[in-house]
Amino acid sequence: MASAPVHPTLESLKWILGKWTSTNGVCIFPTMKEVKYSEDVEFFQVGQPNIQFSYNSYDVEKKKPLHREIGFIRIQPGTNKIGFLTAHNNGVTSVEEGEVNNEEIKTESHTVGRLTFGSDPETKKLSRVIKKVGDELEQIVYMETNNTPLSEHLRIRYKRVE
C-alpha cells in the first residue's frame, strides 16, 4: 500500500512521509528528571486524504519501551489548516489543530481526553512543532498539566531510514 499515489490533498505534507529514527531525544518537564530516549516514527498514507502515523519511544539506557502514539493527520482541503488526531498508550487522546507552512507544522490541542482512571497529573494541553531541518526532521512537544503551565516536554531530531 505504501506505493499508493499520494492523495492530492496531502501534497503539502509529502516531505514528512516515510520512516524516521532517532537516538537523541530528550524528555524534560519542570516536575521530572531529564530522560534520554530513542524513537522510531512512521508517517504513511494509502491514497486516502489522511496520513497515518505511529511513534514508538524507548529508554536509551534501559532499552525498554516508553511512550507510544498512533493517529492520523488530516488537512482541510484547499487550505494549510491541519489536524492531528492522536491516541497515546497512557490513556490520553488529543485533537490538535494548526497549520502547515512550507516544511513546518505547528499545532495546539483544543481537546485532550483521558481514561477516568488515568494517573495524575492530568494533561490539559499539548502543542507541537515538526519541521524539516536539512535532511532531518525535528519535533518539539509542549505540555500543560493541572499542576504545570505549558512547558517544553520533548525535543528530538530524526534521520530518515526509509
| Predicted pLDDT at 125 | 97
CA nearest neighbour of 113 among 144, 83, 87: 87
pLDDT band at 1 (very low <50, low <70, confident <90, very high): very low
According to CATH, the superfamily of the domain at 8-160 is Calycin beta-barrel core domain (2.40.128.20)
* CB contact at 8 A, 54 and 69: yes
Q: In b/e form, how buried is each residue of 53-76, taking b as 16+ CB within 10 angstroms?
A: bebbbbebeeeeebbebebebbbe
Q: E strands along the chain, which residues?
A: 18-29, 32-44, 50-59, 65-75, 81-88, 92-101, 104-114, 123-133, 136-145, 151-160
* CB contact at 8 A, 95 and 83: yes
Mean pLDDT of 156-160: 98
Lowest mean pLDDT among 24-28, 65-69, 85-89, 118-122: 118-122
The pLDDT of residue 101 is above 90 = yes
The pLDDT of residue 2 is above 90 = no
* CB contact at 8 A, 90 and 67: yes
| Predicted pLDDT at 63 | 85
pTM of the full structure: 0.94
Percent share of the chain, pLDDT over 70: 98
| Predicted pLDDT at 126 | 97
| Predicted pLDDT at 157 | 97
- The residue type found at 99 is E
The pLDDT of residue 162 is above 90 = no
